Chains A and B, each alone.
Chain A
Amino acid sequence: MKAEYDVIIIGGGVVGTAIARELSRYQLKICLLEKDADVATGTSKANSGIIHAGYNAAKETLKSRLNIESNPQFDRIARDLKVPFQRIGSLVVAFAKEDISRLKKEKQVGLDKGITGLEILNQEELRQKEPEIHPEARAALLAPTAGIISPYLLTIAQAENAVKNGAEIRLKSEAVDIKCKSGAVSAVVTRDGSELNSRVMINAAGLYADEIAALVGENYEITPRKGEYNLFDKEYGDLVNHVIFPMPSEESKGILITPTVEGNLLLGPNSNPVEDKEDLAVTRDGLEEIWEGGRSLYPDLPADGVIASFAGLRASLPGDDFKIEALEEPVGFIDVAGIQSPGLSSAPAIATMVRDILADIAPALPEKLALREADFDPELKKLPSFQDYKERLNKWQDIFLQNPDYGEIICRCEHVTRGEIVAELKKEFTSATLNGIKRRTRAGGGRCQGGFCGPRIAEIIAEKLGISPLEVTKSGPGSEILWARVKDVKPDRDLVYGLGDNK
Chain B
Amino acid sequence: MMREHQLVIIGAGPAGLAAALEAEKAGIEDIVLLERDEYLGGILQQCIHNGFGLDYFGEELTGPEYAERFIDDVRESSVKIRLKTMVLNISSDKKIIAINEEEGMIFLKAQAIILAMGCRERTREAIKIPGTRPAGILTAGTAQRFINIEGYLPGKEVVILGSGDIGLIMARRMALEGAKVKGVLEIMPYSSGLVRNKVQCLDDFGIPLKLQHTVDYIYGKQRLEAVDLIQVDDNFNRLPETRERIECDTLLLSVGLIPENELSRDMGLKLAPGSGGPLVNELRETEIPGVYACGNVLQVHDLVDYVSEEAEVAARGAANFIRDSLKKREKEIIIEPGSGINFVIPHKISYQDESRKLIRHFLRVDEPRENIKIVIRDEAGSRIASFGREIVTPGEMETVKLPETLISEGTDRLNFSIEAEGVEENGKQ
Any chain A CB within 8 A of the CB of B133?
yes
The residue that A409 contacts in the complex, of B86, B130, B156, B249, with Cβ under 8 A, is B86
The residue that B105 contacts in the complex, of A396, A452, A490, with Cβ under 8 A, is A396
Say whether A475 contacts B177, CB under 8 Å.
no
Say whether B206 contacts A500, CB under 8 Å.
yes
Say whether B205 contacts A495, CB under 8 Å.
yes
Say whether B206 contacts A502, CB under 8 Å.
yes
Any chain B CB within 8 A of the CB of A128?
no
**B102 cross-chain contacts in A, Cβ below 8 A:** 404, 407
B207 and chain A: residue at smallest CB distance:
A502
Contact indicator per residue, chain A 474-503, by CB within 8 Å of chain B (1) or not (0): 111111111111111111100111111011
**A409 cross-chain contacts in B, Cβ below 8 A:** 36, 86, 99
CA distance A400 to B102 in the complex (A): 9
CA distance A278 to B223 in the complex (A): 14
Contact indicator per residue, chain A 366-403, by CB within 8 Å of chain B (1) or not (0): 00000000000000000000000000011011001100
Say whether B175 contacts A491, CB under 8 Å.
yes
Any chain B CB within 8 A of the CB of A437?
no
Say whether A481 contacts B101, CB under 8 Å.
no
Any chain B CB within 8 A of the CB of A112?
no
Say whether B222 contacts A475, CB under 8 Å.
yes
At the interface with chain B, which of A7-15, A152-160, A180-188, A303-311?
A303-311
Contact indicator per residue, chain A 262-285, by CB within 8 Å of chain B (1) or not (0): 000000000000000010111110
Any chain B CB within 8 A of the CB of A408?
yes
Say whether A479 contacts B128, CB under 8 Å.
no
Q: Taking the nearest CB of chain B, how far is it from the CB of A197, in angstroms?
A: 31
Sort chain B's interface into a size bin: 35 or more
Say whether A407 contacts B103, CB under 8 Å.
yes
Taking CB atoms and an 8 Å cut-off, the chain B residues in 116-140 that contact chain A are: 120-121, 123-126, 128, 130-136, 138-139
A403 and chain B: residue at smallest CB distance:
B101
Say whether B135 contacts A449, CB under 8 Å.
no
CA distance A502 to B138 in the complex (A): 24
The residue that B142 contacts in the complex, of A287, A306, A451, A475, with Cβ under 8 A, is A451
Main secondary structure of the interface of B (DSSP, over half): mixed
**A393 cross-chain contacts in B, Cβ below 8 A:** 97, 105
**A306 cross-chain contacts in B, Cβ below 8 A:** 125, 128
Tell whether A475 pairs with B135 under 8 Å between CB atoms, given A412-B36, A483-B249. yes
Say whether B123 contacts A415, CB under 8 Å.
no
At the interface with chain A, which of B147-155, B293-301, B321-329, B339-347?
B147-155
Taking CB atoms and an 8 Å cut-off, the chain B residues in 186-229 that contact chain A are: 203-208, 217-218, 221-223
Tell whether A281 pairs with B145 under 8 Å between CB atoms, given A397-B104, A484-B153. no
Say whether A486 contacts B147, CB under 8 Å.
yes
Say whether A469 contacts B130, CB under 8 Å.
no
CA distance A144 to B275 in the complex (A): 44
Any chain B CB within 8 A of the CB of A4?
no
The residue that B86 contacts in the complex, of A412, A454, A498, with Cβ under 8 A, is A412
Any chain A CB within 8 A of the CB of B176?
yes
**A77 cross-chain contacts in B, Cβ below 8 A:** none
17 extra interchain contacts, Cβ-Cβ under 8 A, other than A310-B133, A473-B135?
A281-B217, A282-B130, A284-B130, A415-B86, A448-B120, A455-B146, A470-B152, A474-B222, A479-B223, A480-B135, A482-B153, A483-B153, A484-B153, A486-B151, A489-B178, A496-B205, A497-B206
Which positions in B face A, CB cutoff 8 Å? 36, 84, 86, 88, 97, 99-105, 120-121, 123-126, 128, 130-136, 138-139, 141-142, 145-147, 149-156, 175-181, 183, 203-208, 217-218, 221-223, 249-250
Which positions in A face B, CB cutoff 8 Å? 278, 280-284, 286-287, 304, 306-310, 393-394, 396-397, 400-401, 404-409, 412, 415, 417-418, 447-452, 454-455, 459, 469-470, 473-492, 495-500, 502-503
* 29 cross-chain CB contacts under 8 A: A281-B218, A287-B128, A308-B125, A393-B105, A396-B105, A397-B105, A400-B105, A412-B36, A447-B123, A449-B124, A451-B123, A451-B138, A451-B139, A451-B141, A454-B142, A478-B222, A480-B223, A483-B249, A484-B152, A485-B151, A487-B177, A489-B153, A489-B178, A491-B175, A491-B178, A495-B206, A498-B205, A500-B206, A502-B207
